[in-house]
Amino acid sequence: MTLVAGVDSSTQSCKVVVLDAESGALIRSGRASHPDGTEIHPDEWWRALSEAFDDAGGLADVSALSVGGQQHGMVLLDREGNVVRPALLWNDTRSAGSAEDLTAEVGAEDFARRTGLVPVASFTITKIRWIRDHEPESMARVAAVALPHDWLTWRLRGYGPAGSSPLGPHLDELTTDRSDASGTGYWSPLTGRYDLDLFKLAFGQDAREASGRTATAAPGVVVLPRVLGPGETAGRVHPACFGGASDALGGGILLGVGAGDNAAAALGLGAKPGDVVVSVGTSGTVFAVDSSPGHDASGTVAGFADASGEYLPIAVTLNAARVLSSVAAVLDVDFDGLSRLALEAEPGAGGVVLVPYFEGERTPNLPHAKASFHGLSIASTTRPNIARAAIEGMLCGLAGGLDALRTQGGRAERLLLIGGAVQNPAVQRIAAQVFDLPVVVPSPGEYVARGAAVQAAWAFAGHRPDWPVAVDAAPRPDFRASIPQNYRKASACIDTGN
């Protein structure tokens, strides 16, 4: 039996799955936690990766590995391979003003045409501008800019800080893939190339794509990871990259190209044109596989590339599962208790609406907004209504993303609902009432890690595997509720500042 492994280095944790390369059957798995926060030192990801490998029983019998990772996180490296400062993650909104500045300087239409997206605080390019404007001492040290999965892949190959890594700080060995590169704001899904003029506008320095050859970084020119194509290999795991753990890792493990988390999830699900995936995790995402690149000058839909050679239009909300955990804490119940309360209330929650912008929002682009309840009266202010409004509000934010994908011409024939929160019965039932598509719920699984494992098998065998995914239909609604309309009316109060 040939085994392959996939990694999901997400915001909250690192997950590892080991699968049979022929069938895709899960053999074993492991995980380790990441610290909370919106800026994290990448060494924490490296620690968690090692712990997750150990928890998965080691990788001595694994033939190939690939890494899926949270998108947009800015990893800055100096010429010696050291991390310059903790990485600013996708959910760090301090660069909202930088996003506005870049959009004003280039124009939303031109930005969307050149990169498939319009800057918001999540994207790497805005964080680069923020560093330039607020931390000149950090900026002066930067020799390379990478993303989380790029950095982990580079470290697995044996590269890293001088004196503490087997192969040293060769920045020209940095690699990425088209899906993760497309979330930076300075790479074009249309041309398949970096837009170096946009990078220089953001950071004030020239940049070049890594050559793939061991070389010394030129002073004053920032290195960007070399973009590999679907099915390519990034190299091999270095047997000494975890020091004494070399026996567990083995020296012959092939490394796939890796991917951004949503693109990896699409691979893991086997998503095809017509499928819309809604993922409810730390963030909420709505994405679909498309055969042509798109651009949305409003910025609602980002025109990313996917990990298979197609495209991945996506709308993202900052507020998803944590909305439910926050409201559950206020109601002094666990997740199951929140579900039971929510199902006691009628659809529409008696007119109670939660606008769930607890941490600002990305879709719509309201980085400084806060959450609010609307429609409260003496009669409607009940624990069941509050619980149901939390789930409805969170899902309606995602339904707005689905509307935006359709506006851009995307096909939508069925909806795949994934993420830890969707195992909640109330979330499944209410989703069937909120979304006007047939809703199916794939069997619980780590689909980002599974998608990375697809890449590993692809790199090893030379062709993309076709692993089956079991799905179940969500409960069918006995009516189509007007929940989204109620949510949009309340959300408009935030949008207009009223």
pLDDT at 57: 94
pLDDT at 239: 87
Tokens of 469: 């995914």
Third-level CATH fold of 3-262: Nucleotidyltransferase; domain 5 (3.30.420)
pLDDT at 34: 97
Residues taking part in catalysis: 261
CA atoms of 363 and 120, how far apart (whole Å) = 9
44-62: per-residue pLDDT in tens? 999 999 999 999 999 999 9
Q: Is 468:24 a contact under the CB 8 Å cutoff?
A: yes
234-248: per-residue pLDDT in tens? 999 998 876 434 344
Is residue 398 helix, strand or coil? Answer: helix
What are the 10-residue block averages of pLDDT along the chain, 498 residues in total? 96 96 97 96 97 95 96 97 97 94 97 95 97 97 98 96 91 97 97 97 97 72 97 92 48 91 95 92 89 87 94 91 95 96 95 92 84 95 97 93 87 90 91 89 92 97 93 66 75 59
Instruction: Map out the domains of the chain as residue ranges.
Output: 3-262
| 20 phi/psi in degrees, rounded to 5 | -75, 120
> b/e per residue, 157-180, with b = 16+ CB within 10 A?
bbbbbeeebebbbbbbbbbbbbbb
Q: Is 232:255 a contact under the CB 8 Å cutoff?
A: no
CB-CB neighbours of 413 under 10 Å: 12
Q: Is 160:154 a contact under the CB 8 Å cutoff?
A: yes
